[in-house]
Structure 1
């Protein structure tokens, strides 16, 4: 299927970037209020995909996202739901703990979503592109060619550079890996704003997003974390249908395992985000 690329033209002002809502209604409610308090319009709020995922309220989360009017691209979860697939397409190693957990949360989400919610997600673009402060920005989920590719800060720059060359972009905003980071090299900038649906394995229950700014006509950005009613999120996940390990992660800020992480990121578990 051909990629659907949404070009939203040239935009200005603050742009709120986030990813991985993961059916976490409480986190989305808080982020929406943050955007409103900062007077950031919904059109300038952009998600890197995976609106649905590990947590307990997929239908409510999609409906709030639609009501808010923020923008999003397709994550691997949206693609799989659109296709009626039987797995999340996260590219977890077969037989791994993450793979086993996905066999619980993915069918749970699939069973809870209305046709209208799946239709909404099916209509999302694969990528969003826009001009900002004189830079061409492209929003991806994992990689341009592979939506489920895990790209971390320690991933070789050559792997990132392929995405810049393919998209002819100056700035890439990407998600999927679950840990916020940024990296600038060769006049190119890769920004992963993090996800709001689960903690970033940093030992804190808070979650992460980023804001682009164009003060002085130059592109700038900053990462932020926020607290929300994570205890309610965790309690709702303890329904006998979802992995209890993920409900604990919501509280502890520590992932159940580090099997998807490269050695560098794995070694930083519980030590906070290292900028």
Structure 2
């Protein structure tokens, strides 16, 4: 496992994940960091720079130009290895699995060898100290990069990951993660688990705004990110990426909920 240590960081940090080839959301995130006067060294991405949307090369270039710390997502690992699919962890044959084939093929064709080399060099885990607490940044799970951990996952699932992280880097106070596309916070014993969500796709709640997190001395706060989703939709439709994720950018609802635990699907949320 490749681990990158950022040392001691102070002041507010901006944590985000899942740019998902959404250039307009990435540009809005960079503008938000500027608006908050958060320096690039205090901006961290939890991976999956490339995924559903239509501008993978441009989004990679924007993230590389920004120069923030990035932990590898499953999409980066798969593209760097020239693998045949995104490695997202979707069950074979499900709608999510079938839909991923379209955007992955488009990304595979668009990403340069130079970008793949950059992806291959990304760390599996990032560590840093902040306000007296030690943090670890991962993508999905530490042992399985594409493991889905949800707001409703059992404590034991988080404990398993936390214990593995401790076996690699020692004691920690906080884990920052991504992959599942939903922003949430959980307290697991003495450890905070914070998922910053994804900026490239809304969190299936009927709003077009996506999500990111701010980490300061008082802990983590989750925020919504408005951006030009119509511009992203137009780019997707021009590229022929019309399997449903283009519509999701406006409606705020994913084209399939198969990947979600039943308790998080719309019918369950509405009845609750």
Question: Which TM bucket (shorter chain)?
Answer: over 0.9
Asked whether 1:4 is paired with 2:7, we answer no
What is the Cα-based RMSD across aligned positions, in Å? 1.5
Asked whether 1:262 is paired with 2:265, we answer no
**Stretch of structure 1 that moved more, 15-24 or 259-268:** 259-268
Residue 248 of structure 2 corresponds to which residue in structure 1? 249
Deviation at 1:20, TM superposition (A): 0.4
The residue correspondences of 1:222-237 to structure 2 (distance < 5 A) are 222-237=221-236
Residue 128 of structure 2 corresponds to which residue in structure 1? 130
SS at match of 2:238: coil
The residue correspondences of 1:160-199 to structure 2 (distance < 5 A) are 160-168=158-166, 169-199=172-202
Match of 1:38 among 33, 36, 39: 36
Distance across 2 between alignment mates of 1:268 and 1:120 = 41
Query: Quick check: 1:174–1:191 contact (8 Å CA) kept in 2?
Result: yes
Match of 2:96 among 92, 95, 98: 98
Q: Deviations over 1:12-47 (max 9, x none)?
A: 111100100000000000110110111111111111
Q: Deviations over 1:41-97 (max 9, x none)?
A: 111111110000000000000111111111111000000011110100011111111
Deviation at 1:240, TM superposition (A): 5.4
Deviation at 1:155, TM superposition (A): 0.5
Deviation at 1:122, TM superposition (A): 1.4
Deviation at 1:133, TM superposition (A): 1.4
Match of 2:46 among 48, 53, 56: 48
**Stretch of structure 1 that moved more, 110-119 or 73-82:** 110-119
Residue 109 of structure 1 corresponds to which residue in structure 2? 107
Distance across 1 between alignment mates of 2:89 and 2:189 = 30
Match of 2:144 among 143, 146, 149: 146
SS at match of 1:238: helix
Deviation at 1:268, TM superposition (A): 6.8
Distance across 1 between alignment mates of 2:72 and 2:254 = 24
Deviation at 1:270, TM superposition (A): 7.8
Query: Quick check: 1:108–1:241 contact (8 Å CA) kept in 2?
Result: no
Residue 155 of structure 2 corresponds to which residue in structure 1? 157
Distance across 1 between alignment mates of 2:266 and 2:243 = 24
Distance across 1 between alignment mates of 2:126 and 2:57 = 24
**Stretch of structure 1 that moved more, 109-118 or 239-248:** 239-248
SS at match of 1:137: strand
**Stretch of structure 1 that moved more, 108-117 or 47-56:** 108-117
Distance across 1 between alignment mates of 2:119 and 2:138 = 16
The 1:173–1:157 alpha-carbon spacing in structure 2 relative to 1, beyond 3 Å, is same
Query: Quick check: 1:200–1:207 contact (8 Å CA) kept in 2?
Result: yes
Asked whether 1:16 is paired with 2:19, we answer no
Query: Quick check: 1:139–1:173 contact (8 Å CA) kept in 2?
Result: yes
Residue 211 of structure 2 corresponds to which residue in structure 1? 208
Query: Quick check: 1:59–1:112 contact (8 Å CA) kept in 2?
Result: yes
Structure 1 residue runs of 4 or more that deviate by more than 6 Å after TM superposition:
268-271
Query: Quick check: 1:104–1:241 contact (8 Å CA) kept in 2?
Result: no
